[in-house]
Amino acid sequence: MKTFSSLDLLPSLQETLAEKGFVALTEIQMRALPALLEGRSIVGVAETGSGKTLAYALPVLHQLKSLENEGKPVSDLGRPRAVVVVPTRELGEQVTRVFKPFTHTTRLRVRNVLGGTGLDVARKNISAEFEVLVGTPGRLMKLLDSQFLDLSDVRILVFDEADQMLDQGFLPSALRIASACSSKPQMALFSATVSNKVQDLIKNLFSKAEVIRSEGSHQVVSGLTSKNLEVPHGKRFPLLEKLLSEKVEGGTIIFTNTREQCDKLAQEMKKSGYSSVVYRGEMDKVERRKNLQLFRDGKIPFLISTDLASRGLDVEHVGRVINYHLPQQMENYIHRVGRTARAGRKGLVINFVTERDEAFVAKLDTLRSRKASGARSAPSPDSSKEWPSEPAHKPPPPKIIPVGRPMARPGRKGAK
C-alpha cells in the first residue's frame, strides 16, 4: 500500500494530509501524482469518486509554494499561476473546498469565479494577489474579454470533468483559455469517459501527453451491486414505493431524465409521505444548494435529480442510486452510478427497465463483460495516440438477463 507520506511533498502539505487523516493513495493518485510533481503533462481517465481532485491539487500547491520558497512570489493583481477549469458551479465549489485546508499551512490563496454569480462578485474575487483560480468556462471568458484577468503567468492548467464541459459546448472556450496562458504551461486533463469530443480537445491541447487510465475507467464503477427491475405497465411508482421502504445505509439518489419527470416524482413522493428534495436545472440556485445540503447532512434521505447531479457531485455515503428512468447515453449512466460506491465503498444501483430499454441493457451487459474479461486494456503510460471510441475487438453481444423475473417480449404471453 503506497501512502501520501512516501511522496516527496512539501512539509506544509504533509502536515495537512496528516491532520486530515489522509493515508493511502487511490489508484489515480498513485499514478498521477508522481507525474505531475515531475512537471509532466497528463491525461487522467478515472471513474468519479476516485480522488482525482486531490491528485492534481497537491502537485499544483507543491509547485507554486516551491516557486515562492525560491523567492518568486506572485506580485501582480489578477494574475494567477494555476487555473482549474470546471464545467459547473457545484463542481467548482467542491474543488475549492478540496484546496482550502492546504492553504492554511502553505499560505497560498485560492479564488473562484463561477457561473451563477454576478460579474462584479467575480471581479472582486480576483482583485487582489492570489495563486490558484478555479473557474467555469463562461465566467473565465467574460473576465478575459473584459481584461480583468491575465493568464500570462499560468504555470499549470487543469481541465476537470472534461467530458461534461465539452458536452455543454465549451470546446472553443477551453481552447481560448489555453491560448491565453503562458506559451508552455504544464497541463492536466481529467475525465471519467473519453468521448470523441474529449479526444478532439486532447489533440488540440497536447503535443504529447502521458495517458493515465485507472482500472475501471470508462467502465461501471467497481464495488457496485446492480439490479435490473422490470417495470409493470403503468406501475413505476408502486415499484419505487416497495424499494423506499427498504433500509439502506446512506442516502438514495433517484434519477429521472427530465425536469418534468423530476417534479412529478417529487409530488408523488410527497403525497405518499416520503421526505425528498429536488435537485435539477432551471430552479432557484439558492433553493438547489439548500436542498443539496439537506441531503448531504442526512436530514432528507431522498434526492430526486436529473443528470445535473450525476456529474462531479461529491456527496459522501450515498448508499443507493435508483435509475427511475434509464438514460439514453452510456456516459450518463456511468456518471450516475458513480455517485455511490465512491473511493472503494460499496453501493447499490437499481435500474427500472421497460421494453424500450432493452438495447441499453444489452449495451450495459456488454460493458460489464468487457470489464470482467479485461478486453479493453489501458494504453501504455507514454501513449499519446487517439483512443478508439470502441475497442477494436468487440465481444459477441451477451444474453440480457435482468435481475428479477424475465421481461415480457412481443409474441410472448404477457407482453404489453
Same CATH fold assignment for domains 4-213 and 224-373: yes
Residues 276-282, mean pLDDT to the nearest whole number: 90
Q: In sequence order, what DSSP letters do the residues of 353-393 get, joined into one string?
A: E-GGGHHHHHHHHHHHHHHHHT-SPPPPTT--SPPPSS-SS
Can you read off the three cell numbers belonging to residue 269?
413522493
Of 8 and 394, the one with more pLDDT? 8
| Residues 12 and 65 sit within 8 Å (Cβ to Cβ) | yes
Report the mean per-residue pLDDT for the chain. Answer: 83
pTM score: 0.67
Answer for the pair 157, 186: CB distance below 8 angstroms, yes or no.
yes
pLDDT tier at 341, thresholds 50, 70, 90: confident
Q: Which of 90-94, 238-242, 259-263, 282-286 has the lowest mean pLDDT?
A: 282-286
* Predicted confidence (pLDDT) per residue in 137-169, tens digit: 999 999 999 999 999 999 999 999 888 888 778
Q: How far apart are CA 398 and CA 387, in angstroms?
A: 24
pLDDT at 39: 93
Beta bridge partners of 416: none
Alpha-carbon distance 323 to 249, whole Å? 18
Confidence of residue 377 (pLDDT cuts 50, 70, 90): very low
pLDDT tens-place string over residues 180-200: 997 789 999 998 877 788 888
Per DSSP, 3 falls in state B
Categorize the per-residue pLDDT at 249 as very low, low, confident or very high, splitting at 50, 70 and 90.
Answer: confident
Q: For the chain, give every domain's residue range.
A: 4-213, 224-373
Class of the 4-213 domain? alpha beta
Among 117, 113, 141, 142, smallest CA distance to 127 is for 113
CB atoms within 10 A of CB 361: 18
Q: Helix and strand tally (H, E) in the chain?
A: 14, 13
- 83-116: per-residue pLDDT in tens? 999 998 888 998 999 999 999 999 999 999 998 8
* Assigned CATH topology for domain 224-373: Rossmann fold (3.40.50)
